[in-house]
Amino acid sequence: MTIEKRSSAFEYAPAPESRAVVDIAPSYGLFIDGEFTEAAEGRVFKTVSPSTEEVLSEVAQAGEADVERAVKAARKAFEKWSALPGAERAKYLFRIARIIQERSRELAVLETLDNGKPIKETRDADLPLVAAHFFYYAGWADKLGHAGFGANPKPLGVAGQVIPWNFPLLMLAWKIAPALATGNTVVLKPAETTPLSALFFADICRQAGLPKGVVNILPGYGDTGAALIAHPDVNKVAFTGSTAVGKEIARTVAGTRKKVTLELGGKGANIVFDDAPIDQAVEGIVTGIFFNQGQVCCAGSRLLVQESIQEELLDSLKRRLSTLRLGDPLDKNTDIGAINSAEQLARITSLVEAGEAEGAERWSPACELPSSGYWFAPTLFTNVTQAHTIARDEIFGPVLSVLTFRTPDEAVAKANNTQYGLSAGIWTEKGSRILAVAGKLRAGVIWSNTFNKFDPTSPFGGYKESGFGREGGRHGLEAYLDV
């Protein structure tokens, strides 16, 4: 069967989600001390929809003076917020969780517009996880003495938090929920390409009646984040993003008392053994690298397939990729949305070119890309060696590098042959092999016979240069407590 015939067999009528559910204002300010305010220097930047390049809104860009104001507000709010009984802090967080649930469709559409990811994902993954994260940490606020960090663990103070654009609201939830539950106040900088959901979250804080200054949102670029992290009155730094920036942050906080947690890059190995259930493994591989267009730090971007089933698996995988629907992120049937920015698209393109130049074999299904916006077709590379750039560098896009192995030992050695250590996948029907391989992989999250599953109760974070500290679960509290 040809690709054309197959794709026509799967043609769907357009099923766009309505934009009417969200009302995006033409401009937004910074959110400091409970008020939306202009930036001191009056600077603004535009945020665009990556799928159309349409300007969605104009957002105030925080500078050093704004960082100063926000940290001051957070410091002032800390005194009362940290002294509030845990049960009261909990109720604020429960309120926030509930309001997020109420407004989840609006936020899902907003996130899809600003980020470019499919509505299927924002609706079914991002938003449910955001609400669940607040609900989970809300419950901890009055139970911290039972968390294993002593009878009466103390908050750190003001947390400076910098988050990426791949899961804007979810990363906000991962940062803000545990910080507030433990009695800290926060100044958060969303990514410059996806500031809107954080600003909508500011409105949710107001609806929830959260005291002023407990949450402050400062949209801006890297320099805003750097100023926040370097601010002497910030007690805690939490960052999710690239390993290069993570290292810079580690240098910045050296010699201070600031507590740091870093969630950085990855080059996750998805290992498929010869006895794996092929159909499920193919679904797992697709989820692993094409979820969120592969713009996921824990993506399974290296497929390690046992040599004896390579052909069968790749045939199945290619058939499956030919059925993925790329296009309008607001369409409920869309599997692959837009790449988040022109800059990220350029990075993916250049790494893919390096892959070809170094001799790996490139394949993509027949796939028409929209004429405007930032798009990249699902891509896989075969004939990849461990020395290839595309087997070593994090691409952060819908690009899978396929390597092979013969023995479990070789699979483990190849999987661990990376500076990163965030995630890995294991596909086999043999339980003892799962446990043996899982034990030897140097990675913080191991998905066996599944991939890219997340839950607020499940600690997430990396080994080696994927960063340190954990987010989620009881473990996630430690990052915000004086222990």
Q: Supply the residues annotated as catalytic.
A: 263, 297
8-state DSSP, 398 = S
CA distances for 64 relative to 46, 61, 75, 157, angstroms: 20, 10, 16, 20
Q: Which stretch binds other proteins (CB under 8 A): 50-58, 85-93, 139-147, 469-477?
A: 469-477
Q: Is 44 in the site for other proteins (CB under 8 A)?
A: no
Crossing angle, helix 243-252 and helix 222-230, to 10 degrees?
30
Identify which of residues 63 and 284 has a Cβ nearer to other proteins in the complex. Answer: 284
Q: Is 448 in the site for other proteins (CB under 8 A)?
A: yes
Give least dist CB 449 to other proteins, A: 5
Q: Which stretch binds other proteins (CB under 8 A): 118-126, 168-176, 210-218, 467-475?
A: 467-475
8-state DSSP, 148 = T
Residue with tokens 């059925």: 323
Among positions 221, 363, 449, 482, the unique one binding other proteins when judged by CB under 8 A: 449
Helices (H) and strands (E) in the chain, counts: 17, 18
Q: Which stretch binds other proteins (CB under 8 A): 50-58, 93-101, 296-304, 437-445?
A: 437-445
Among positions 108, 443, 477, 481, the unique one binding other proteins when judged by CB under 8 A: 443
Among positions 110, 113, 127, 132, the unique one binding other proteins when judged by CB under 8 A: 132
Give least dist CB 26 to other proteins, A: 38
Identify which of residues 213 and 472 has a Cβ nearer to other proteins in the complex. Answer: 472
Among positions 7, 383, 446, 482, the unique one binding other proteins when judged by CB under 8 A: 446
Maximum Cα–Cα distance for the chain, whole Å? 68
Are 472 and 456 a contacting pair, CB within 8 Å? yes
Q: Which residues are within 8 A (CB) of 366 and not within 5 positions of it... i.e. 6 or more apart?
A: 3, 4, 7, 322
Among positions 168, 213, 470, 481, the unique one binding other proteins when judged by CB under 8 A: 470
Site for other proteins in 253-282 (CB under 8 A): 254-255, 257, 262, 264, 277, 280
Distance from C-alpha of 225 to C-alpha of 404, rounded to nearest angstrom: 41
CA distances for 341 relative to 27, 47, 398, angstroms: 20, 10, 14
8-state DSSP, 122 = I
Distance from C-alpha of 107 to C-alpha of 98, rounded to nearest angstrom: 13
Site for other proteins in 285-304 (CB under 8 A): none
Site for other proteins in 376-435 (CB under 8 A): 419, 434
Q: Which residues are within 8 A (CB) of 6 and not within 5 positions of it... i.e. 6 or more apart?
A: 319, 322, 323
Q: Please report the sign of the dihedral spanned by the C-alpha atoms of residue 240, residue 38, residue 101, residue 210.
A: positive
Q: Which stretch binds other proteins (CB under 8 A): 44-52, 71-79, 363-371, 471-479?
A: 471-479
Size of the site for other proteins (CB under 8 A): 43
Site for other proteins in 227-256 (CB under 8 A): 243, 246-248, 250-251, 254-255
β partners of residue 189: 162
Are 384 and 360 a contacting pair, CB within 8 Å? yes
List interacting residues with other proteins (CB under 8 A). Answer: 132, 148, 243, 246-248, 250-251, 254-255, 257, 262, 264, 277, 280, 419, 434, 438, 443-450, 453, 455, 457-461, 463-465, 467-468, 470, 473-475, 483
